[in-house]
Structure 1
Amino acid sequence: MTERIDGHTILIGLMAYPIRHSMSPTMHNNAFAKLGLNYAYLAFEVGNDTLPSAIESIRTLDMRGSNISMPNKQKVIPLLDKLDPAAEMVGAVNTIVNDHGTLTGYTTDGTGFMKSLSDEGLDIRGEKMTLAGAGGAGTAIAIQAALDGVKEIAIFDLDSVYQKNAKHNVDIINEKTNCHATLHTLADQDDFKQQISESAIYCDSTGVGMKPLEDETLVSDPSWFRQDMIVFDTVYAPRTTKLMKVAEQAGVKHVFNGLGMMLEQGAEAFKLWTGEDMPVDYIRDLLFNDDGVTTK
């Protein structure tokens, strides 16, 4: 890193809270080094209260852009100049590109999710998905899955904060795609169990399972899962979440954390900033070399 940084190095950030656990700096900085690009990627712990000044710093410091994660993916939108059509449809941003002071918001979470499944040889088009969470990541996943051909999505909102957003997601999917989306509440555990039992994939896009909730899971009973389904947790720190352990107890064949999604959404952002393709295979080997990512 010290050999690459000089007076011409271009800064890219990651703004979220908490964020010190993130693998994104490792991913992007190794990709820059591999391709000989004079960029540096740093993580900044930024919450909603300090977000406005942090976004303005992108302009002030002439940064190339930044990734945005929880809890800022929706709060950041009024602070930007433009939105990519996909981000506008999703109503959330995870990537900002700075073009000479003009900040444009993009979303790459949904494409990252679908691509990570494709990387594993899995195709959920024409299938039913149960999705927990209607925040920035959950919204992007739901809408991209619907656009890509998932037949049905049962969306469970985690709490009242995202209830309005969850309803919006259902409405926009039903209006603008061929997918049928329905809205549910986690308070109805019988319904939650039933929807999962009918699904080819269960995805948890909430922060449950991540610090400080690493000992928690929305599904604690292994009998809720089938061996032939997919269980996907967007959390990747810890590598094996409580949800993943429950799925493994049930003998589920395809159990994933969020590392593959992070890699693919990162590759999309990398292209937006640099115009270059991320060396995905090289980065995958660096991130996944502890055998803690997936069981098949």
Structure 2
Amino acid sequence: MDIQGKTKVLGIIGWPVAHSLSPLMQNAACAALGLDCVYVPFPVPPENLAEAVDGLRALGVAGFNVTIPHKEAIIGLLDDLSEEARLIGAVNTVSRDGDRLTGHNTDVTGFTKSLQDDLKFDIKGSRVLLLGAGGAARAALVGLCQAGAAAVTVANRTPAKGKRLIADFSPVFTGANLAQCTLDVLKDDCRLKDVDLLVNTTAVGLNGTAFDDIDLAPMAPTARVYDMVYNPALTPLLAEAQKHSLLSANGAGMLAAQGEAAFTIWTARKPPNGLMKSRLLAALGGQDMLDNDVYSK
């Protein structure tokens, strides 16, 4: 890479951020298209976020990703938000137009594209069970409703959090039947048999953790299972899906697709098809991650 005075700088801010695979994916795309850009990680402690954003603005950084713990805190430091970022209440990508910084959330696009590419799943008219009610669940819910899901049920350990999520989006997405329940739904044969897609947006699956007493046998043979956790590649939930011959996928496709969407926002170019995902999978095959980029880009 020949870095010169005209080279545009892109990057990612987070704390920690050294483990992120976004530089690998983004720099591969820049090189493949012959763009004079470089993508670098910027470690930013929470107490220094405001100063860091001012610095990125002053230095003319062309755009950057945002990961934990800054996805929500950065909103008040930006000049504008995209519709998805405003709905979700979190930003994972920032674009620049002159001195103005606009926050976006490409997790929505990343999630729905991965469902289409990795599971060949048609969201329109589907019935979805969403596990979790955090930031990743908000992005998934927005993506599902925007794509025409008929019904989405949010299952969470803390009922109050799930109820807040439904209350936030029911007035926005009136065409979808939104409901809330506890994780006991995973033991409810009658509920599971009517689900077209089961999505895990929680951190369960990292570090060997698993849902208690889960049994996906009641799910229809045509149902799909999606786990946003991608390290390990085969989580206990996905192993259970395979046990019952259910088509399933982990979140690696989502990470790659959201990175592609961010790249296009910054450069107005599409990266070569499959490049980011192939680089990501190659890297995951040779190293352990400190965290999962669903929660830490």
Residue 235 of structure 2 is matched in structure 1 by: 241
Give the structure-1-normalised TM-score.
0.83
Instruction: Find out whether 1:193 has 2:187 as its counterpart.
Output: yes
Deviation at 1:129?
0.9
- What is the Cα deviation at residue 11 of structure 1? 1.9
Deviations 1:202-251 (A, max 9, x none): 111123333xxx21123553446634321111122332333322322333
Map residues 140-289 of structure 1 onto 2, 5 A cutoff: 140-159=139-158, 163=161, 166-177=162-173, 178-186=175-183, 189=184, 191-194=185-188, 195-210=191-206, 214-218=207-211, 221-223=214-216, 226=219, 227-252=221-246, 254-288=247-281
**Unpaired runs of at least 5, structure 2:** 286-297
What do residues 244-279 of structure 1 show as CA deviations (whole Å, max 9, x unaligned)? 223223332x22111111121111111111111121
> Which residue does the alignment assign to 1:72?
70
Give the aligned residue type for 2:256: L
Amino acid at match of 1:180: N
Instruction: Specify the SS of the correspondent of 2:170.
Output: helix
Residues 87-166 of structure 1 mapped to structure 2, 5 A cutoff: 87-120=85-118, 121-159=120-158, 163=161, 166=162
Tell me the CA shift for residue 197 of structure 1: 4.0
Shift of 1:50: 3.8
Distance 2:217 2:47 in 1: 39
**Structure 1 pair 71–234 and aligned structure 2 pair: CA distance change class (3 A):** farther
The number of residue pairs the alignment matches comes to: 280
| 1:61 aligned residue | 59
Q: Is the 8 A contact 1:235 1:257 kept in 2?
A: yes
Return 36-45 or 125-134, whichever deviates more.
Answer: 36-45
Deviation at 1:107, TM superposition (A): 1.1
Give the percent of matched residue pairs that are identical in Structure 1 and Structure 2. 32
Which amino acid is the alignment partner of residue 272 of structure 2? P
Classify the secondary structure of the residue corresponding to 1:37.
Answer: coil
**Aligned partners of 2:195, 2:15: CA distance in 1, in Å?**
32
1:1-12 superposed matches below 5 A: 3-12=1-10
RMSD value, Cα: 2.6
Matched with 2:82 is 84
Asked if the contact 2:187–2:213 (Cα under 8 Å) also holds between the matched residues in 1, the reply is no
Whichever residue aligns with residue 81 of structure 2, its letter is: L
Paired letter, 1:170: I
Amino acid at match of 2:35: L
Are the equivalent residues in 2 in contact too, given 1:13–1:42 (CA < 8 A)? yes
Please name the residue that 2:291 is paired with. Answer: none
Call closer, same or farther: CA 1:99–1:282 in 2, change over 3 Å: same
Residue aligned with 1:98, SS: strand
Deviations 1:25-44 (A, max 9, x none): 11111000000111112234
Shift of 1:104: 0.7
Asked whether the 8 Å contact 1:233–1:243 carries over to 2, the reply is yes
Q: Is the 8 A contact 1:132 1:158 kept in 2?
A: no
Change (3 A) 1:47 1:256: farther
Is the contact between residue 222 and residue 250 of structure 1 (CA under 8 Å) also seen in structure 2? no
Q: Distance in 2 between matches of 1:263 and 1:235?
A: 13
CA distance in 1, matches of 2:186, 2:17: 30
Q: TM-score, normalised by structure 2?
A: 0.83
Confirm or deny: 8 A CA contact 1:47 1:72 kept in the other structure: no
3-state DSSP of counterpart to 1:246: helix
The 3 A distance-change label for structure 1 pair 109 and 100 is: same
Deviations 1:77-124 (Å, cap 9, x if unpaired)?
Answer: 112111112211222211111223211111111121111121232213
Q: Quick check: 225-234 or 79-88, which moved more?
A: 225-234
Distance 2:245 2:105 in 1: 33
